[in-house]
Structure 1
Amino acid sequence: MDSPIYVEKQLREAQQAFAEQNPQSQKAHLDAHHHLPGGNTRTVLHAEPFPITWIAGKEARLTSLDGREYIDLLGEFSAGIFGHSEPRIAKAVHQALESGWNFGGNNLLEKDFARKVCQRFGPSGIDLVRFTNSGTEANTTAVAASIAITGRKKILVFSSGYHGSTLVFPMISAQASTELSMNLPYDFVYAPYNNITETREVINNLPKDSLAAILVEPIQGSGGCRPAKKEFMQFLRETATSTGAFLVVDEVMSSRLGPSGYSATLGVKADMMTLGKYVGGGMTFGAFGGRRDVMELFDPSRKGLFHPGTYNNNVVSMSAGIVGLDIYNEEEVDRLNLLGRRLKEEVQSVLIKEQIYPTELADPHASIIEVDRLDGTTEIEVAGLGHRISKMPAMFITGEGSMLNIRFTGPVSKSWQALFYHHALSNQIFIATRGYTPLSLRVSHADVDRYVSLIRDFVARHRDHLRA
């Protein structure tokens, strides 16, 4: 049987079995159509034939409406790094609410939290900080500030970049895309991620003094946990300095990978850096910070940049964030990254043993680095080995530390990805439909073993159609 026919048949059977096992979630999904378009208010959570409805969570476990318990390896797309029931955060939130909320004024919590954020992320570039309600809002504000301060218009963005619901760049030729877009109407300039030569070419072709900001993720979360090369990030830092543009580093997700953020581990300091919900204890939160001279323009007494926001300093996020930064300290950052590295190496060992990986990738410690091109193709490098491979394996794992992603390539990659998602659910492990698994602090070695086991089973079952 041809692989496309094979995987489509397997997927139909998996989805049918899923529907039979989850009738209450199906009913809840269909009932929700009366008031929500497609029964959904958050697009990324949609799954075919319907998503699971959750009714409870504790530590790294989720309970569905149909009464099944799952290991949660999605960790709320990185925002849920503390699990679902961290008692110290619950206590902090409860204590904050006891004194009232929605003050319409300043409070002591925001001042304490700001001090801790600046101390924590200072090495990545945050001298002063401002709070928002989400990572999306932090990124849009940083971009808007770059334009206002420089008086320029162009924003350099990268293939497969995602910076929030109004800053989505899924393809290199996005200018010509016929898909509906809700991106902000800025003058975006598209460049290939991880490609110094062609990015330099794009920048050199811009009018002089037109570039306001370079907006980049050091690891592309939504794009598949694709790490930037150190030299690429350093090139962007040098370019921003030489052109007078702002380097805006989106660390909404990746800041979890280093004690002071991932940029600091690469030796790169941002002009502005953005943070997301895990920094606020997993609550409604975002932040942007940066160089003192830039951030002081937000000082209201100087009548500079106007940045309101009813919930910017809400007591829930401020209180949870203060405690959360203490919990996710340097020791825990290292521990969680080690657990992620162990998971990645064991998965790669499975893929090597079953001959899914080509011989050039026959090292469980190797890392796949993707270098995009202006023509829409991607070249694959093997980090640390100094060579490229001619063909991406049909199934592979990417990421760094505790941010990992199982991915597929080829003409029916979406079907393989969906089949793997349902295979994980059938083993009562919850992951993103795109294979994303940012580990939480409550994930155990036993949970990782169980995930590796189901991957081993998946590969063994489908090896003849996955082999390179």
Structure 2
Amino acid sequence: MSASAAVAKAVAAAHATFEAHNPESRRLHTSAAAHMPGGNTRTVLYAEPYPVAIRSGDGNTLTSVDGRTYVDFLGEFSAGLFGHSHPRIAAAVHMALGAGWNYGGESVAEKLLAAAVTARFAPGGVELIRFTNSGTEANTFAIGAALAWTGRKKVLVFSTGYHGGTFVFPMDLCRWMHGGSQGAPPCRNMNLPHEFVAAPYNNVAETRAIVDALPPDSLAAILVEPVQGSGGCRPAAPGFLRFLRATADRLGALLIVDEVMTSRLGPAGALAAASAVDGDGTPIKADLMSFGKWIGGGMTFGAFGGRRDIMSLFDPALGAAKRLMHPGTYNNNVFTMYAGLAALEIYDAAAVAALNARGDRLKAGITNALVATGLYPAEHMAYLTDVIEVDSFAGETMLYTGADAAASVALPRVFLASRGSMLNLRFAGSDAGHWHNIYYHFMLEKGIYMASRGYTPLNLVIADKDVDMFVAAVEAFLAAYKEELTA
């Protein structure tokens, strides 16, 4: 049996088991298709053959309509950092309910939350902040501010970057953009019609060449994630971030750092944490930053902030000819404002360190399992214990350690990409999508809920015993499919 045939057989078996165990989820999915296209209103939650329908959540568990209970290793893609029933978040929301909602006016809570957020993320360059309803909105306004500030139009983005539903940049699309946009695009998206310029993530040489080929004084902004969450937990090399900071300074562009997912990774976010890893320790500061997810306590939330001079463009006291408009009925909703105040108190520096340590425990367990099965070759361990992926528009994605790109090795068939409490078991090769689906269904059968792409950001309710259970499940998966994965 060929490798592809074996994978197809494994997919079919996984789907058959899932369908036998989840008939009510199937019934609800089929019924919902009469009211929503494909029975779905959030693309990322769809998984073949159909998604699990959740009835309730409590602590770190989810219960489906089919009566199956899962330990939650998805954490609402990092928004659910506090689990499903944190008493302090619940108390904050009840406080908001008790004081009424939909004020149509400013509240005390939003002013307190703004002070707390700017104090926390000042090391990354945040002096003033404004709230939004989502990370997508936050990046929309950050880009708009950069265009207005510079008077330019072009925005540099990176392969496999994701900055919200209207800023999605898979590798095939980026290569197509870089190639002069000849022919039809390789995928359909609803990206906003900015003048995006694509470059390969973590690749200083190719990015420099692309930037240097731009017309003079045309680049308004560089938009980058310190760790690409939706792209597979791909950390940026600190040297790459320093290169982008220097490039923005050299060209008079603004550096926008998207910390919608990654702000959980350090007391002051992932950018500030990266500053201590490489170079002389000089802080890498953004001109603008975007936030979301956990900072609102898991409620509807986003924020963008940065340098005082740039953010002052949003001062409503400025005349109409000078100010930038930023409306939004729910920007300062009292539920998020109160929940956010509680969230920042709960997730303090000690909690950040403890959660990252738990992520390191999970990383070590999975890495050991990959080594034990021979899927991580001993000669490549220097790369595979701390995966840094270097994209190239001229070739394949490679791995390297430190600044020595000449010591690159090819991606293994299965590997772990991670940073702190954000982890993603990944697959490479032509069957990668099928392997992600097989892995996803295998873990569901083990009582583990995660993203269908393998993304597992930890939440604060996850305990060491849960981590050890997850590692045991990965060990079982690798043992079950070792022959196919090494074929």
- For 1:259-274, what aligned pairs fall within 5 Å after superposition? 259-267=267-275, 268-274=284-290
Determine whether 1:202 maps to 2:210.
Answer: yes
Give deviations 1:320-363, integer Å, cap 9, x for gaps. 00000000000000000000011111101110111001223336
- What is the alpha-carbon distance in structure 2 between the residues aligned to residue 363 and residue 186 of structure 1? 40
- What is the alpha-carbon distance in structure 2 between the residues aligned to residue 178 and residue 424 of structure 1? 31
> Once the 2 structures are TM-superposed, how far is the Cα of residue 429 of structure 1 from its aligned partner?
0.2
Q: Per the alignment, in what secondary structure is the counterpart of residue 301 of structure 1?
A: coil
2:187 aligned partner: 179
1:132 aligned partner: 132
Give deviations 1:294-317, integer Å, cap 9, x for gaps. 111111111311111100000000
Contact 1:74 / 1:437 at 8 angstroms: preserved in 2? yes
Q: Per the alignment, in what secondary structure is the counterpart of residue 482 of structure 2?
A: helix
Q: Per the alignment, in what secondary structure is the counterpart of residue 407 of structure 2?
A: strand
1:289 aligned partner: 305
Q: Which amino acid aligns with 1:283?
A: M
- What is the alpha-carbon distance in structure 1 between the residues aligned to residue 403 and residue 347 of structure 2? 29
- What is the alpha-carbon distance in structure 2 between the residues aligned to residue 426 and residue 329 of structure 1? 35
Cα distance change of structure 1 residues 434 and 297 upon mapping to structure 2, 3 Å threshold: same
Cα distance change of structure 1 residues 190 and 363 upon mapping to structure 2, 3 Å threshold: closer
Q: Per the alignment, in what secondary structure is the counterpart of residue 417 of structure 1?
A: helix
1:277 aligned partner: 293
- What is the alpha-carbon distance in structure 2 between the residues aligned to residue 231 and residue 84 of structure 1? 38
Equivalent pairs: percent with the same residue?
A: 52
- For 1:407-426, what aligned pairs fall within 5 Å after superposition? 407-426=426-445
- What is the alpha-carbon distance in structure 2 between the residues aligned to residue 384 and residue 459 of structure 1? 31
Determine whether 1:250 maps to 2:253.
Answer: no
Q: Per the alignment, in what secondary structure is the counterpart of residue 362 of structure 1?
A: helix
Q: Per the alignment, in what secondary structure is the counterpart of residue 288 of structure 1?
A: strand
> Once the 2 structures are TM-superposed, how far is the Cα of residue 417 of structure 1 from its aligned partner?
0.8
2:248 aligned partner: 240
Q: Which amino acid aligns with 1:183?
A: N
> Once the 2 structures are TM-superposed, how far is the Cα of residue 190 of structure 1 from its aligned partner?
0.5
1:226 aligned partner: 234
Q: Per the alignment, in what secondary structure is the counterpart of residue 312 of structure 1?
A: coil
- What is the alpha-carbon distance in structure 2 between the residues aligned to residue 399 and residue 244 of structure 1? 33
- What is the alpha-carbon distance in structure 2 between the residues aligned to residue 160 and residue 463 of structure 1? 28
Give deviations 1:202-244, integer Å, cap 9, x for gaps. 1100011100000000100010000000000001011111111
Give deviations 1:37-78, integer Å, cap 9, x for gaps. 000000000011100000110111000001111000000001
1:101 aligned partner: 101
Q: Per the alignment, in what secondary structure is the counterpart of residue 157 of structure 1?
A: strand
2:281 aligned partner: none
- What is the alpha-carbon distance in structure 2 between the residues aligned to residue 41 and residue 312 of structure 1? 22
Give deviations 1:142-201, integer Å, cap 9, x for gaps. 011111121100000000000000000001314242322200000000101001111111
2:278 aligned partner: none
Cα distance change of structure 1 residues 103 and 376 upon mapping to structure 2, 3 Å threshold: farther
Q: Per the alignment, in what secondary structure is the counterpart of residue 400 of structure 2?
A: strand
Contact 1:59 / 1:442 at 8 angstroms: preserved in 2? yes
Determine whether 1:352 maps to 2:371.
Answer: yes
- For 1:292-371, what aligned pairs fall within 5 Å after superposition? 292-303=308-319, 304-362=323-381, 366-371=385-390
> Once the 2 structures are TM-superposed, how far is the Cα of residue 411 of structure 1 from its aligned partner?
1.2
- What is the alpha-carbon distance in structure 2 between the residues aligned to residue 74 and residue 47 of structure 1? 14
Moved more, 349-358 or 33-42: 349-358
2:30 aligned partner: 30
1:85 aligned partner: 85
Q: Per the alignment, in what secondary structure is the counterpart of residue 130 of structure 1?
A: strand
Contact 1:366 / 1:383 at 8 angstroms: preserved in 2? no
2:279 aligned partner: none
Q: Which amino acid aligns with 1:135?
A: G
Q: Which amino acid aligns with 1:382?
A: T
CA RMSD of aligned residues (A): 1.4
> Once the 2 structures are TM-superposed, how far is the Cα of residue 99 of structure 1 from its aligned partner?
1.0
1:110 aligned partner: 110
- What is the alpha-carbon distance in structure 2 between the residues aligned to residue 185 and residue 320 of structure 1? 34
> Once the 2 structures are TM-superposed, how far is the Cα of residue 370 of structure 1 from its aligned partner?
0.6
- What is the alpha-carbon distance in structure 2 between the residues aligned to residue 174 and residue 249 of structure 1? 24
Q: Which amino acid aligns with 2:268?
A: S
> Once the 2 structures are TM-superposed, how far is the Cα of residue 275 of structure 1 from its aligned partner?
0.3
Determine whether 1:52 maps to 2:40.
Answer: no
Moved more, 366-375 or 225-234: 366-375
- What is the alpha-carbon distance in structure 2 between the residues aligned to residue 311 and residue 213 of structure 1? 27
Q: How many residue pairs end up in the alignment?
A: 468
Determine whether 1:152 maps to 2:168.
Answer: no
- What is the alpha-carbon distance in structure 2 between the residues aligned to residue 318 and residue 24 of structure 1? 37
- What is the alpha-carbon distance in structure 2 between the residues aligned to residue 403 and residue 461 of structure 1? 25
1:382 aligned partner: 401
Contact 1:109 / 1:318 at 8 angstroms: preserved in 2? yes
- For 1:382-461, what aligned pairs fall within 5 Å after superposition? 382-383=401-402, 388-461=407-480
> Once the 2 structures are TM-superposed, how far is the Cα of residue 432 of structure 1 from its aligned partner?
0.3
Cα distance change of structure 1 residues 123 and 20 upon mapping to structure 2, 3 Å threshold: same
Q: Which amino acid aligns with 2:271?
A: S
Q: Per the alignment, in what secondary structure is the counterpart of residue 293 of structure 1?
A: helix
> Once the 2 structures are TM-superposed, how far is the Cα of residue 365 of structure 1 from its aligned partner?
7.8
- What is the alpha-carbon distance in structure 1 between the residues aligned to residue 32 and residue 401 of structure 2? 46
Give deviations 1:374-423, integer Å, cap 9, x for gaps. 22521211359987343321111101000000100111111111000000
> Once the 2 structures are TM-superposed, how far is the Cα of residue 364 of structure 1 from its aligned partner?
9.7
> Once the 2 structures are TM-superposed, how far is the Cα of residue 467 of structure 1 from its aligned partner?
2.7
Moved more, 363-372 or 455-464: 363-372
TM-score (norm: length of structure 2): 0.94
- What is the alpha-carbon distance in structure 2 between the residues aligned to residue 143 and residue 270 of structure 1? 13
Cα distance change of structure 1 residues 450 and 364 upon mapping to structure 2, 3 Å threshold: farther
Cα distance change of structure 1 residues 386 and 166 upon mapping to structure 2, 3 Å threshold: closer
- What is the alpha-carbon distance in structure 1 between the residues aligned to residue 95 and residue 406 of structure 2? 55
- What is the alpha-carbon distance in structure 1 between the residues aligned to residue 149 and residue 358 of structure 2? 42
